[in-house]
Structure 1
Amino acid sequence: MTIFYSPNILENSVLSEEESYHCTKVLRMKIGDLIEIIDGKGTLYKAKIVLPHHKHTQVDILESCPGFGMSPYRLHLAVAPTKSIDRFEWLVEKAVEIGVWRITPLDCRYSERHRINVDRVERVVIAAAKQSLKAYVPQIDAMTSFEDFMNQSHYKQRFIAHCHQTSKEALHRICKPHRDTVVMIGAEGDFSIEEVAVAEQNGFVSVSLSESRLRTETAGVVATNIVALQLNG
């Protein structure tokens, strides 16, 4: 069944103009057709089209499913966006499909990109949530400096992944289940050794993700998958 996104569906029972157009002009849906709607806050609604229109399709809510597709944990991924925005958006898409609660783009010492279009990335997130049958749409933050992020991280599990030849734990061995978790991933040039030291002083544990050296977007997906497997255990 086709899934649509409407954050205020309970207030007005009307699909947005973009979703209405897709519903009526692309999918050619008609009165009486059944659809599913996510509100981005964790609830999926089963609904019936009562008035199709290319700008404001009205629906009748038949059933609600709170917590649909939600994970029993919160994973916050903080990652320095790649120079190629396509690679960063690929990472975001896959992280949402696997299961992430929040994504913060980091501006680090060796970052190659210092700005992102949050609206554009949010569209990727919404599409990935719909495709992967998740009713919660992860939060995408504005670009955040490394220093500011240090003051915002208060999770039970805090990890920083890097390639420096220092003492590190394997993430899959140290990550404990059922705990809210944040993982930091650096730019292609990695975190600076000073940034690693600051993170460790703020309670972050240095971890490795693989014996191979991974690209930023690959590291983000690997970290998300490791945490998802461990926290669901």
Structure 2
Amino acid sequence: MELPVFYAKELQAAQSQYTMDEPTSKYCVQVLRKTIGDHVLLTDGNGSKYEAEIIDDHRKRCVLNILNVTTVPPSHPQLTIAIAFTKNASRIEWFLEKAVEIGVQNIIPLITHRTEKEKLKVERLESILVSAMLQSQQSFITKLAPATTFNELVQSCTISQKFIAHCLPESKQFLLHVVKPAEDAIILIGPEGDFTPQEIELALQQQFTPVSLGNTRLRTETAGVVAATLLAAKNVE
């Protein structure tokens, strides 16, 4: 049976013991009914997984002995989605969860001319990233960048593969047909109402490739998930 995985952000490789915080302890001891002698896994979200044994099953401060550490190399290539967050928080939270499960390593909240939501509840969003990491049994937490303006991002981006998905009736190629495997990639996903023509023109001037995500018009969060799926599919071995 697979061992349950818990997030231990502050855990260091040299530690021989670790004490869970109260919410994690309660979940481990009261919900999962783990007791002294049971084994669990911990991850710091930076590539290290720790197998540990419970030595004190207190529901407020569960203490574990660290038995061994396994280090996982970072995923390659690095996939980044820069997306205009929607006004409806539940929709963008759904996108974050699915993007992590698919394997996106970096998410950038994008402030465009038509962006509906610029102020973010970062703590809430980061908790979703942690939950999705644990659920999908990954060892690296997806990074949520500070909100960035469209102009700033497109003019400073140095990632080798750069794409912009937009809805204007211009010449575009299907993303799956143009993305190269084993190379870092970023894609820009616009708000409801799409990027402005001026924003699209600026991106093209900065060598972003215009792409299509299919034959239907997608909501912002759906477009983000489709883009993540297509980018990840190109790198499946």
Tell me which residue corresponds to 1:162: 166
The correspondence of residues 119-134 of structure 1 with structure 2, limited to 5 A, is 119-134=123-138
What 5-or-longer segments of structure 1 have no aligned partner? none
Q: Is the 8 A contact 1:105 1:142 kept in 2?
A: yes
Tell me which residue corresponds to 1:32: 37
Q: Is the 8 A contact 1:111 1:189 kept in 2?
A: no
4+ residue segments displaced more than 3 Å: none
User: Within 1, Cα distance between the matches of 2:192 and 2:90?
Assistant: 15
- SS in structure 1 at match of 2:55: strand
- SS in structure 2 at match of 1:9: coil
Given the alignment, which residue of 118, 125, 128 partners 2:122?
118
Question: Which amino acid counterpart does residue 15 of structure 1 have in structure 2?
Answer: M
Q: Is the 8 A contact 1:161 1:186 kept in 2?
A: yes
Question: Which amino acid counterpart does residue 4 of structure 2 have in structure 1?
Answer: T
- SS in structure 1 at match of 2:187: strand
- Give yes or no for the alignment of 1:55 onto 2:60: yes
Tell me which residue corresponds to 1:2: 4
Listed one character per residue, the Cα deviations across residues 81-110 of structure 1 (whole Å, up to 9, x for unaligned) are 111000000000000000011111111111
Tell me which residue corresponds to 1:218: 222
- SS in structure 2 at match of 1:149: helix
How many Å apart are 1:136 and its aligned residue? 0.5
User: Within 2, Cα distance between the matches of 1:23 and 1:207?
Assistant: 45
Percent identical among aligned pairs is 38
Tell me which residue corresponds to 1:43: 48
The correspondence of residues 53-132 of structure 1 with structure 2, limited to 5 A, is 53-67=58-72, 71-132=75-136
Question: Which amino acid counterpart does residue 199 of structure 2 have in structure 1?
Answer: E
User: Within 2, Cα distance between the matches of 1:75 and 1:53?
Assistant: 40
Question: Which amino acid counterpart does residue 40 of structure 1 have in structure 2?
Answer: G
Q: How many residues align structurally?
A: 232
- Give yes or no for the alignment of 1:17 onto 2:22: yes
TM-score (norm 2): 0.93
How many Å apart are 1:168 and its aligned residue? 1.1
User: Within 1, Cα distance between the matches of 2:156 and 2:57?
Assistant: 45
Question: Which amino acid counterpart does residue 134 of structure 1 have in structure 2?
Answer: Q
User: Within 2, Cα distance between the matches of 1:33 and 1:151?
Assistant: 52
User: Within 2, Cα distance between the matches of 1:65 and 1:98?
Assistant: 22
User: Within 1, Cα distance between the matches of 2:24 and 2:47?
Assistant: 19
How many Å apart are 1:76 and its aligned residue? 0.8
Q: Is the 8 A contact 1:9 1:15 kept in 2?
A: no
Question: Which amino acid counterpart does residue 14 of structure 1 have in structure 2?
Answer: T
Listed one character per residue, the Cα deviations across residues 90-131 of structure 1 (whole Å, up to 9, x for unaligned) are 000000000011111111111111211111000111000100
TM-score (norm 1): 0.94
How many Å apart are 1:72 and its aligned residue? 2.4
What 5-or-longer segments of structure 2 have no aligned partner? none
How many Å apart are 1:2 and its aligned residue? 1.1
Q: Is the 8 A contact 1:80 1:186 kept in 2?
A: yes
Q: Is the 8 A contact 1:178 1:232 kept in 2?
A: no
How many Å apart are 1:137 and its aligned residue? 0.5
Question: Which amino acid counterpart does residue 27 of structure 1 have in structure 2?
Answer: L
Stretch moving more, 199-208 or 86-95: 199-208
- Give yes or no for the alignment of 1:204 onto 2:225: no
User: Within 2, Cα distance between the matches of 1:166 and 1:103?
Assistant: 27
Aligned CA RMSD, in angstroms, stands at 1.5
Q: Is the 8 A contact 2:42 2:51 kept in 1?
A: yes
How many Å apart are 1:6 and its aligned residue? 0.4
